Copies of this chain bind each other. A is one copy, B any other.
Amino acid sequence: MSNNCNAGNKTYSQTLDLVKGKVEMVHGSGGKAMAQLIDELFLKAFSNKWLEQMNDQACFQLPAGNVVMATDSHVISPLFFPGGDIGCLSVHGTVNDVAMSGAVPKYLSAGFILEEGYPLADLQKIVTSMAQAAEDAGVHIVTGDTKVVERGKGDGCFISTTGIGVVPEGISMGAERVSVGDKIIVSGSLGDHGVAIMSLRENLTFETTIESDTQSLNDLVASMVDVVPDIHCLRDPTRGGLSATLNEIAQQSNVGMQIYETQLPIKPQVNAACEFLGLDPLFVANEGKLVAFCPPDKADQLLAAMRQHPKGKDAAIIGEVFEDDLNFVQMETAFGGNRMVDWINGEQLPRIC
Contacts of A239 on B, CB cut-off 8 Å?
Answer: 3-5, 28-30, 34
Which residue among A113, A160, A165, A352 has the maximum number of chain B CB atoms within 10 Å of its CB?
Answer: A160
With a 10 A CB-CB cut-off, give which of A111, A251, A353 has the most chain B CB atoms. A111
Known: A143-B71, A158-B113, A244-B4. A29 touches B66 (CB 8 A): no
A2 CB–B CB distance under 8 Å:
yes
Using CB atoms and an 8 Å cutoff, list the residues of chain A in contact with chain B. 2-10, 24-26, 28-35, 53-75, 77, 93, 97-98, 100-101, 103, 107, 109-113, 142-150, 152-155, 158, 160, 162, 164-165, 167, 174-176, 235-241, 244-245, 248, 251-252, 254, 285, 343-353
Distance of A153 from chain B, by nearest CB (Å): 4
Q: Which of B56, B66, B68, B254 contacts A100 (CB 8 A)?
A: B56
B32 touches A142 (CB 8 A): no
Known: A59-B68, A154-B154. 10 other contacts (CB 8 A): A6-B252, A29-B348, A59-B101, A67-B164, A71-B110, A71-B144, A73-B112, A109-B162, A111-B160, A149-B155
User: Are the CB atoms of B235 and A4 closer together than 8 Å?
Assistant: yes
Pair A72/B145 contact, Cβ less than 8 Å: yes
Given contacts A69-B57, A152-B152, contact A238 B345 (CB under 8 A): no
Query: In the complex, A236 Cα to B62 Cα: how many Å?
Result: 26
Which of A60, A109, A112, A236 has most B Cβ within 10 Å? A109
Q: What are 18 of the A-B contact pairs (CB < 8 Å)?
A: A4-B244, A6-B252, A8-B248, A9-B251, A28-B75, A29-B239, A29-B352, A31-B244, A31-B343, A53-B176, A55-B174, A57-B100, A57-B103, A62-B65, A67-B67, A69-B109, A73-B146, A154-B155
